[in-house]
Chain A
């Protein structure tokens, strides 16, 4: 295996793990955690692509007050982009958790199966009520 791209294996593993959790788990909190893992994998992708072989941290190395010549820096732009992505991720998790709290208040559960079952029962009851009240 080419060790030069092992960072991608990490990214792919995290991504798949996260997506698997989102799809397979029926608990909303766990789903949301899976989603976070999934988002983190993308942050890893970006951060690792900013690395330049042999490059140093993107801070000017000074040579007597002026930037030194011939120094290779890593690319700072992906890191900066990820600052935004991290904010988005945090906000998403926060909104999601907030919604889960409301779901818990309204349904008394954070299990998708329980919630779906309650919705279905409510729907059936509504249809029945209407059929009785109607002509």
Chain B
């Protein structure tokens, strides 16, 4: 049983999805999907706790490089645990949030798509085969398009369609990149590709450079790196609450992990940052993304769009960490990926709780929320503090790591920009806080309804995530130690 865990993580949600379609009964579907996600979480957490040397799982008994290999290292186990945990929390929310949002009669399809998306994301992380990455990428993408389209308003359709068009271009670019690499190396196994890449007649060629460009742009689109981010705000803002919280915490994070692996494992840090000098280019794009995303967030009129633009800014932090091309940068990137996943998911879940209490996510409509739904408003403040990176939250631990990585390489300018852009986060978070606490509630708004007035299906998970963020903020050593070894391994090209 234990040696099958690497594949079970993916297979459980993958096979549960069609079951749900057959089952149809909404209550049973909800419970079964939650069980599947929980089982997957248990498998992932077990792997994370037990993995020491990399585990290589041979699918169908075929050894690599002929067969497909699933590889679990500390880095992949960390991402697996993160993604499955966030999926479970989002599904808890889905159990309440989707009832009002998804048109009746389609609940089972919603959950099936959700689990497929989860399976796709997990597959991408765990597989050690380049083409397999593409297949899982498309599994998760296709189900995401469907999930986004299930939003409350008609705008969800266009959001999903635009995402589909850009996402497919991104996915196809990835496919081209993989194809060119296959052409040069004759293998699809990631480690095998990396091994061939060290040979001069492969690594130095124009074809490899082109493959690099295609892969980076392809992942860049799916990661929403500035200026390839246009799909993200609408897709996050218009999708059902459970989906936006799930996507915000997992989709871009998994792609970020793929980008890291592409740069550090497939091509190798010395090629990317030494030969190609990609660091400066990526660094400048990251800075632009950090400021553009945060500035745009300041001017949003809807809470979910504000959070979405903030995500674009946060992707800038992630790619900035990667652009340092150092071990410290890799560590900071992985850490910030985790911290931001928790924080942003928590905020989207709070947004869901607010939407189900107020009926809309227009920021104007949140006037006086500090009186009407004090716990929701308070939870938003906590999450916002995590987003800003106030000490005592997980966001601070990762911001500190970013800062140290920047200073260690002598990038004083990057360090200053990092701090300045976190001030923009103060502005967009506090804009909402002021509306919640200083503006009078509309006269027709219902008064505070005590503890029963809340959507606990949403607020409960949100508060749990907030507490987790604060606990990690003051006692981070278990996670930071784990992530550091994972980052060291990853940076040296280990998979």
B172 at the interface (CB under 8 A from A): yes
The count of residues in chain A whose C-beta lies closer than 8 Å to any C-beta of chain B is 35
Knowing A106-B154, A119-B155, say if A84 contacts B164 (CB, 8 Å): no
Is A107 touching B175 in the complex (CB atoms < 8 A)? Answer: no
Knowing A22-B169, A92-B142, A100-B161, say if A45 contacts B149 (CB, 8 Å): no
Distance A85 CA – B443 CA, assembled complex (angstroms): 57
Distance A106 CA – B301 CA, assembled complex (angstroms): 24
Knowing A49-B183, A84-B135, say if A92 contacts B442 (CB, 8 Å): no
B364 at the interface (CB under 8 A from A): yes
Set of chain A residues within 8 Å of B164, measured between Cβ atoms: 92, 95-96, 99
B367 at the interface (CB under 8 A from A): yes
Is A46 touching B161 in the complex (CB atoms < 8 A)? Answer: no
Set of chain A residues within 8 Å of B168, measured between Cβ atoms: 35, 38-39, 92
- Residue A81 contacts which of B131, B169, B442 (CB distance < 8 angstroms)? B131
Set of chain B residues within 8 Å of A39, measured between Cβ atoms: 168, 172
Distance in angstroms from B389 CB to nearest chain A CB is: 32
A88 at the interface (CB under 8 A from B): yes
Is A102 touching B442 in the complex (CB atoms < 8 A)? Answer: no
Distance A96 CA – B149 CA, assembled complex (angstroms): 11
Distance A133 CA – B149 CA, assembled complex (angstroms): 30
B288 at the interface (CB under 8 A from A): no
Set of chain A residues within 8 Å of B149, measured between Cβ atoms: 99, 102
Distance A19 CA – B182 CA, assembled complex (angstroms): 24
B309 at the interface (CB under 8 A from A): no
Q: Which residue of B lies closest to A104 (CB)?
A: B157
Per DSSP, chain B at the interface is: helix
Contacts across chains A and B counted by CB atoms under 8 Å: 82
Distance A54 CA – B172 CA, assembled complex (angstroms): 30
Per DSSP, chain A at the interface is: helix
Set of chain B residues within 8 Å of A84, measured between Cβ atoms: 131, 135
Distance A107 CA – B365 CA, assembled complex (angstroms): 26
B159-177 CB mask vs A (1 if < 8 Å, else 0) is 0110011001101100110
Q: Which residues 282-323 in B have Cβ within 8 Å of A in the complex?
A: 301
Set of chain B residues within 8 Å of A127, measured between Cβ atoms: 301
A45-70 CB mask vs B (1 if < 8 Å, else 0) is 11001000000000000000000000
Distance A15 CA – B419 CA, assembled complex (angstroms): 42
Is A99 touching B145 in the complex (CB atoms < 8 A)? Answer: yes
Distance A134 CA – B366 CA, assembled complex (angstroms): 11
Distance in angstroms from B122 CB to nearest chain A CB is: 18
Distance A32 CA – B476 CA, assembled complex (angstroms): 47
B362 at the interface (CB under 8 A from A): yes
Set of chain B residues within 8 Å of A103, measured between Cβ atoms: 154, 157-158, 161
Is A106 touching B157 in the complex (CB atoms < 8 A)? Answer: yes
Distance in angstroms from A21 CB to nearest chain B CB is: 11
Q: Which residues 68-123 in A have Cβ within 8 Å of B in the complex?
A: 78, 81, 84-85, 88, 91-92, 95-96, 99-100, 102-103, 106-107, 115, 119
- Residue A38 contacts which of B172, B362, B364 (CB distance < 8 angstroms)? B172
Set of chain B residues within 8 Å of A81, measured between Cβ atoms: 131
A4 at the interface (CB under 8 A from B): no
Distance A106 CA – B182 CA, assembled complex (angstroms): 44
Is A130 touching B135 in the complex (CB atoms < 8 A)? Answer: no
Distance A49 CA – B365 CA, assembled complex (angstroms): 58
Is B145 touching A95 in the complex (CB atoms < 8 A)? Answer: yes
Extra contacts, 18 of them, besides A96-B165, A103-B161, A130-B362 (Cβ < 8 A), are A19-B169, A35-B165, A35-B169, A39-B168, A42-B176, A45-B176, A45-B179, A84-B131, A85-B134, A85-B175, A88-B135, A92-B138, A95-B145, A95-B146, A96-B145, A99-B149, A106-B154, A135-B443
User: Taking beta carbons and an 8 Å cutoff, which residues of B are in contact with A?
Assistant: 131, 134-135, 138, 142, 145-146, 149, 154-155, 157-158, 160-161, 164-165, 168-169, 171-172, 175-176, 179, 182-183, 301, 362, 364-365, 367, 440, 442-443
